[in-house]
């Protein structure tokens, strides 16, 4: 690899046979030392061999090994140049994403009520592997959810139209194709709407600890000492099944279209092919399901706050600051080689980070840029950033999505053996509630990079600007 500056490392185009573009990894010395421990650099190079890829195969500073494309990977393919679409470039948890709600509350308003508040959230937002929610979708409603996304939830009374305005893509992408989604996927999704799930998913009550960009924070409605709620979840078993189904389809497509790849996990099809269009229609449906999922949870989280604190909606003032997707592929217009063109931008463990003035940034934030929400681990802190013009020029308007895992779940479990993670968290002033101990030990802070290291690189490289830091007071783990 060739170091370009303190925050950029190039994977040269001759690093591996078949690379069509170079790779670019955002990292400093500290992060690169960990990045080189697994095979994610190979995955950056593998992605560079995909037909129709343009620019560079990108990796954000939270990069770590994933299925096909690394977590933290960003690639763009040109549909007009035989560009492909790949499920491995999106991942299994389609539109896993995060949203942040602001409140009118100060820390002293909730400090004495944190335990009942977390208990109330735990019961409002079903968590754990295979958890089921309060909604059972009929076949007809399931198709409406995958078509309408968050709007379906709002139509059922789960939120407001202002929530839609502050959700990426308004909470629904155009082009969902229910006929391209298997019965098994619909069956897995029927009872899981409005649930956190397991793994790294969470709901977290936080306090704003630091403000770095006062004007932008004001535009976002953030102030020091304010209570916020962050929710991280995705498309549950529904999206997982969509990805699983289309990995089989894409393996056949490799042979059909004579596509040679160094890693079958990047199995793909030309964007314009029947297989490519079917996957896109199913992926959009799963993305819309995920937005509806987070919107339903937002409604029940508001109710949980009202119940635990004995306050009405007006006093609580719980507003959705923004909702961003992490695992998604979108047809977006970008400037490449001097002209605007539609590109298929795959973000896997990466966040859209559009700058001020972009028409897809909500009107309320268009004069400052798109909020970029970067959760850390459950024991330290998270960050709110804002998109920049540099990201639009260099990363297809993308930034990192979180801290990034530092060790496997098995390794984290070994490290946590004999420890009481619940007590350790409480010693830090954090109330922790979870469906079981297994997820908690897999998600200990040491399992993740320090998200401040990741954000420092993002800021140093200019692909997002830090606005505020929040720290957890109470966590519901999936």
What is 284-330 written as a DSSP string? Answer: HHHHHHHHHHHHHHHHHHHHHHHHHHT--HHHH--EEEEEEESEEEE
Buried b (16+ CB within 10 A) or exposed e, 252-274: ebbeebebebbbebbbbbbbebe
Give the residue from 249, 239, 245 showing the smallest Cα distance to 275: 249
- 72 vs 231: CA distance, rounded Å: 20
Distance CA 227, CA 470 (A): 9
Closest Cα partner for 426 from 388, 462, 472?
Answer: 472
Distance CA 334, CA 55 (A): 11
- Catalytic, 401? Answer yes
Q: Is 345 helix (H, G, I), strand (E, B) or coil?
A: strand
Burial class (CB in 10 A: 0-12, 13-18, 19+), 360: middle
Instruction: Single out the catalytic residue among 166, 240, 299, 401.
Output: 401
Q: How far is it, in rounded angstroms, from Cα 182 to Cα 180?
A: 7
Residue 383: what are its φ and ψ, rounded to 5°?
-135, 150
The set of catalytic residues is 401
């Amino acid at each position: 690899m060739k170091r370009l500056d303190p925050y950029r490392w190039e994977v040269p185009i001759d690093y591996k046979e078949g690379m069509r573009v170079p790779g670019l990894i955002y990292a400093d010395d500290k992060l690169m030392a960990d990045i080189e421990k697994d095979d994610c650099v190979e995955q950056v190079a593998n992605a560079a061999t995909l037909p129709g890829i343009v620019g560079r195969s990108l990796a954000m500073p939270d990069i770590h090994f994933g299925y096909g494309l690394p977590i933290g990977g960003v690639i763009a393919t040109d549909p007009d140049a035989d560009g492909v679409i790949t499920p491995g470039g999106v991942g299994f948890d389609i539109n896993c994403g995060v949203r942040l709600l602001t409140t009118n509350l100060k820390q002293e308003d909730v400090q004495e009520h944190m335990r009942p508040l977390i208990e109330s959230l735990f019961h409002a937002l079903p968590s754990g592997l295979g958890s089921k929610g309060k909604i059972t979708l009929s076949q007809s409603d399931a198709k409406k959810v995958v078509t309408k996304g968050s709007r379906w939830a709002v139509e059922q009374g789960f939120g407001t139209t202002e929530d839609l305005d502050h959700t990426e893509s308004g909470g629904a992408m155009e082009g969902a194709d229910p006929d391209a989604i298997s019965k098994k996927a619909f069956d897995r999704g029927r009872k899981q709407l409005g649930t956190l799930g397991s793994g790294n998913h969470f709901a977290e009550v936080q306090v704003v600890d630091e403000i770095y960009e006062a004007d932008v924070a004001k535009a976002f409605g953030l102030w020091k000492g304010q209570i916020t709620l962050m929710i991280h979840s995705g498309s549950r078993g529904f999206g997982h099944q969509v990805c699983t189904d289309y990995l089989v389809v894409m393996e056949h497509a490799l042979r059909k279209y004579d596509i040679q790849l160094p890693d079958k996990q990047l199995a793909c099809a030309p964007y314009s092919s029947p297989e490519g269009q079917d996957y896109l229609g199913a992926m959009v449906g799963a993305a819309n399901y995920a937005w509806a999922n987070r919107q339903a949870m937002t409604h029940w989280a508001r109710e949980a706050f009202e119940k635990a604190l004995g306050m009405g909606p007006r006093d609580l003032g719980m507003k959705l600051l923004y909702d961003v997707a992490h695992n998604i592929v979108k047809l977006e217009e970008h400037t490449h080689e001097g002209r605007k063109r539609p590109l298929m931008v795959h973000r896997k463990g990466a966040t859209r980070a559009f700058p001020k003035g972009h028409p897809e940034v909500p009107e309320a934030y268009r004069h400052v840029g798109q909020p970029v929400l970067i959760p850390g681990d459950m024991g330290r802190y998270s960050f709110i950033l804002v998109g920049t013009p540099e990201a639009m020029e260099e990363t297809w308007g993308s930034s990192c999505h979180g801290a990034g895992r530092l060790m496997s779940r098995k390794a984290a479990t070994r490290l946590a053996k004999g420890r009481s993670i619940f007590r350790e968290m409480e010693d830090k002033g954090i109330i922790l509630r979870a469906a079981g101990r297994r997820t908690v030990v897999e998600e200990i802070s040491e399992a993740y990079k320090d998200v401040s290291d990741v954000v420092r690189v993002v800021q140093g490289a200019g692909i997002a600007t830090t606005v505020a830091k929040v720290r957890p007071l109470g966590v519901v783990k999936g």
